[in-house]
Structure 1
């Protein structure tokens, strides 16, 4: 049984952790949300959509899907879905095509916020953008080849859900006040999740369940070259999302508890595969098949990061410091980059 002083110390540590993680995330998210809004107002999303139109043919999608992916890249999957509903596609897209688009949306979305979070953990911005955008394109290309070669999922897709009376004009016509209120609601939801998440992790650590998770996952972690210190945080990111896993990782990195190579491998894995519950369910509302929305995505992420970690982390320290890592608030010990 814990005495009153021990309980007080645990609660005090928990409050400090919640404050540190929340403020770190909000310092990243709030400026990024403002920048995204400015880009929307000046037509930045439309421009990116036009740039991406020719790329869509490479993965077997019509050019009109360029604006859908562009919106998703700069905002989030929810907004990308709303833009998708405004496109005059009827039932012309197959399940395979919807799954390809969904797979790309799942890997590359919300980059102004999530790429900045990755940068704060100590990974260079360019590395994250290449991993997420390049990974999405490669994954979409492979899915298109697999489904085409096997003549799989070539029947017309069926929307499981579609909002009524949605047009491109209604999506873009929100007043500044409505937008600000929605963002405030989103930030409050993030804070609540952080409180619940850190409380749960603290309890799991107290009862020793965290050590059990580390032991069970040790074979997979050895394959991916992720140290046990980053295990729980990585699993949080995979299940709940990169913002939460990344937020916890920033805290641990700044405290000097996690090696640089573990940060690279963990954030690389989260770049390609995170929020496998919520995001997967979202794209399945579009009619995506679970094979590409989940199973093949997880397999692709594990194989890609296993190969990339072995290639990149075998390079010289000078190479890694120049091309992979950025400086963090507290330098990680030299011995940590083993």
Structure 2
């Protein structure tokens, strides 16, 4: 059938599908190899080894060393895995809400590094900066929370778990099926996001969003063209936000500075709804994993944006 014979609705749908495929295929090229590598490392015992390496950094945070395994699993895989391991490792521990919140702050910033780091790298953030922001930033926020809760004697009551985990099927078949479901979900979400962005643009709501976010983004040094991407990343997650960012970057709408600062902010502060609720199921308090995390992210990116121009340009050049 010729394109001229297609109805406007069909042409719009085909255009939406084509744009979704472009964004989705870019993500697949990054995520599938990263997922396979992570699974191989997990089968080789890398999670346990990383837990041993991280054990010494837990003591300054007021956390028992065995909890390093929780953060190690979260760094390599995702928060869901970290929560399940936490429920198992902490079964015989008496932890305070403050301790769980400190651990939760580590998990909220430092998770899924192989996959999300690869996506960020493709969008323009070098690995060394991802590791510095995500691991170094997570530890610094956790240490600050530990000091604040200790000095203020806050959240020192015994933690009560909101739920118990069911036995997990760890077979390769189950893992493969879960990854296929995740990748299929990502396709659907990206299509929905593109459709919503088109609708917002047509209705003029996109301009309203830009105006509302402009003061905050200007303070962070991020241009208004990155407003939609920032909202997507904060609410839904870095993979979705970075996927859209890849598309926007190729279109020439965003400057390299916008890409650098936007992804730096989203690396520290993304998926505020899902991740926050998930970690709160462990017993963590929102004061640390939501509000302190948001404030910390704003401060870090504000400082990054105010680096001398030649230093920031050096970061931008090293990302290629």
CA distance in 1, matches of 2:308, 2:46: 34
Q: How has the CA–CA distance of structure 1 residues 316 and 76 changed in structure 2, closer, same or farther, with 3 Å as cutoff? A: closer
* 1:284 shift after superposition: 0.4
CA distance in 1, matches of 2:40, 2:308: 36
Q: How has the CA–CA distance of structure 1 residues 208 and 6 changed in structure 2, closer, same or farther, with 3 Å as cutoff? A: farther
- Single out whichever of 267-276 and 21-30 deviates more from structure 2: 21-30
Q: Which residue of 2 aligns with 1:320?
A: 315
Name the TM-score, length of structure 2 as normaliser.
0.94
Q: How many residues align?
A: 315
For residue 298 of structure 1, give the secondary structure of its aligned residue in structure 2: helix
Q: How has the CA–CA distance of structure 1 residues 95 and 312 changed in structure 2, closer, same or farther, with 3 Å as cutoff? A: farther
Q: Indicate which of 36, 39, 43 corresponds to 2:38.
A: 36
For residue 306 of structure 2, give the secondary structure of its aligned residue in structure 1: helix
CA distance in 2, matches of 1:313, 1:78: 39
Q: How has the CA–CA distance of structure 1 residues 322 and 213 changed in structure 2, closer, same or farther, with 3 Å as cutoff? A: closer
* 1:312 shift after superposition: 5.8
Structure 1 vs Structure 2 CA RMSD: 1.6
* 1:321 shift after superposition: 4.4
8 Å Cα contact 1:91-1:156 kept in structure 2: no
CA distance in 2, matches of 1:188, 1:195: 11
* 1:185 shift after superposition: 1.1
8 Å Cα contact 1:312-1:320 kept in structure 2: no
* 1:144 shift after superposition: 0.4
Structure 2, gaps ≥5 residues long: 1-5
Name the TM-score, length of structure 1 as normaliser.
0.89
1:196 aligns with 2:192: yes
Q: Indicate which of 16, 19, 22 corresponds to 2:18.
A: 16
1:311 aligns with 2:307: yes
8 Å Cα contact 2:120-2:263 kept in structure 1: yes
- Single out whichever of 183-192 and 208-217 deviates more from structure 2: 183-192
1:244 aligns with 2:246: no
Q: Indicate which of 99, 120, 123 corresponds to 2:122.
A: 120
Structure 1, gaps ≥5 residues long: 327-338
Q: Which residue of 1 aligns with 2:181?
A: 185
Q: Which residue of 1 aligns with 2:274?
A: 278
Counterparts of residues 101-140 of structure 1 (less than 5 Å): 101-140=103-142
* 1:70 shift after superposition: 0.3
